[in-house]
Every structure is written in C-alpha cells, then in structure tokens.
Structure 1
Amino acid sequence: MKKFLSLFILILISCVKTDDYEVPQSQLPENVSTEGTKISLRAVKNSYNEETGEIYTFSGDQYFEAYVISSDRAGNFYNELILQDHPENPEAGIQILIDENALYQRYNFGRKVFVKLNGLSISKNNGLIQLGKQNRGDLDPIVSSEIDEHLIRSEIVEEIIPLQI
C-alpha cells in the first residue's frame, strides 16, 4: 500500500498543471540572412499561369519573406499556414500546405518566416493560390521531414493589423 501511495504522489507531482505552453525559441539570430535571391510574394503568385492552370515548380535559390496570419490552435486551419507579405496593409497572401499538426507552436500568429522556394510548386485550388510539393499532377503538402528545408522561422513577431475592406 505504501508503494502505491508513493507512486500516486509521484505521478501527481510530475503532472503538468497547465495547458499554457510557450512557443519554442528559435535558434536563429534576429537578423536572419538567407542565401539566394529575395523575391516578393506577389512575384511568387505571378509564377502561376491562370490561363493554363498548370502546376509550376520553382528551381534555384529564390525565397520570400512573409508573416503568419493563421493558427491551427483551435482546429480552424488543418495542415496549412496562411501567410501575407506585410504585417500591415498586405498586398498578397498565400496558403502553404504542410503535413504537420500544431503548427501554431512553431509558427505562431504574426511570426515572420522565410520561405525557400527551390523544389516547391504553386497551384490554385478553390480560388486559393497554394504552395506545396508536386506529385503526379497534384499538389501535396510539404512532408514534416522537409519543413526546415523550406520554412525558416525568424525571431520577429509583428502585430498583424487587419486590412479594412
């Protein structure tokens, strides 16, 4: 009985008392520099040919910077990040398909990210321009083992000011 009571007390002491977790700290310095050619999110979206509707795959060392404006914390977004080009008065936005859950823990709302385009493909689905990986004529999510190759998380978290329409 003493062993059972001791084990029970140990379990109670070891349990996490709250569901409030902090976003993991990035290992990158605040002034992240990426190798390659920086292009605008608008230029990325213009790579998709509306007339042909064909999936376009990027090659080379191009990247763009953007801000996370989605959160899957409440289950509203599933395996995707929605990004916009500026924290205030955005001009372009894009959906990135990612095969991983709980993205909000790493890519929280307002987080600045750098997206390396080499090997990613762009397409349109239900009126949304999407980035992902091409697979036999379809656009699949970026697999979890390749996320760090394409998404670089910066230290910067901006306040997102909604665009008044």
Structure 2
Amino acid sequence: MRVLISTWGSPLGWRRAKYRCADGEVVEGFTTLPCHRADRAIIVALDSAVYSQQRGGYNADAVECARAAGLEVELEGQAGGARIRPSGVRTYADWVEAAERYIKCVAERGGRRADVVVAPAQGRVGGFSYGNPLRSRDFLAAVLAKAYLMLEGSLGDVSAITLDVTHGINYMPGPCAGGR
C-alpha cells in the first residue's frame, strides 16, 4: 500500500493551476492530490485553517466546503475576498471537527478522498492566539501519533510513503524535521 502524506495551509486562497506530475501527466486543479497514485491519503492541516481570510479573489470550492462544514462565510465578491470562521463552536474538539470536515471536503473537491490530521497551530493567526508554544518534537509526535492511529491496522502493508509539502511548505517541514 502506498501512502501519501500532504501538508496543507489554508486552501481559501489557492488558485487553479496546471501541475506536472512525476509521471509527466499534467493535471489542472487547485491541489496536487490527483498527481499521486497513492492508495491512501492523509492531509496534515493546522487547526487555524478554519479561521482564514483571503483578499483579492478566493477559492470558490473552499468557500462551498466552509459552508458545508458549518463555518461562517463572508464574501466581498469573487474579485474581492472571503473570510471564514467557526460558528457555534463551544470546545476545542468542536473546532477540530469543523477543521476535519472542511479539509476533507476541499480534498474531495480537489480530486480525492483523504483522512485528515488536524495539528495545533502556534502563535497568532487571524486575531487568535493558538496554544502554548510547542517544541518541534512535540508537534511532530502529535502528528505522527494521529497518523499512526489512522494506519494502525494496515501498517504492515505500507510499501511507500510520499510526503507532499506543495501546499504547506511555509510551516510544516521545520516542525516535522525536528527543527527548532
């Protein structure tokens, strides 16, 4: 079994593009998911993805997924911008569930079904202060533990793991590489 692990930031601002896949195929879309011939996909996204603002155009698929996930959506017209945020969230577990629903929907609209690991954001994003500072190894441990639980029954069948940081390179490699 081939597993894809893909790191994602906020899909709200992603534009359609042409991606040249490793096998030479060119696909058009707003994610690289269709390029991968994996049997299973896991997306690692930050909990802050559900509180996002995009100026100067936005990803209409992400907006529809935000609505489907129960997030509040404010639009300024297609050429304008968009803002999404949680609605009716009472607990952190509710916040994480909203993020899972949102990212799963975006993945499906982007070309494939995927499991989602919602990881804790750090610092200040969109007017919120996220969590206590986590050491990189603690962030990595949390992400790996969640991914392990998703694959637990089939770990012996894993023949390859591909890491795609196309949509999450700005925040993910440092923590996942154990950097400080």
Pick the structure with greater CA Rg.
Answer: 1
Query: TM-score under structure 1 normalisation?
Result: 0.26
Query: TM-score under structure 2 normalisation?
Result: 0.25
Q: Which has the higher helix share?
A: 2
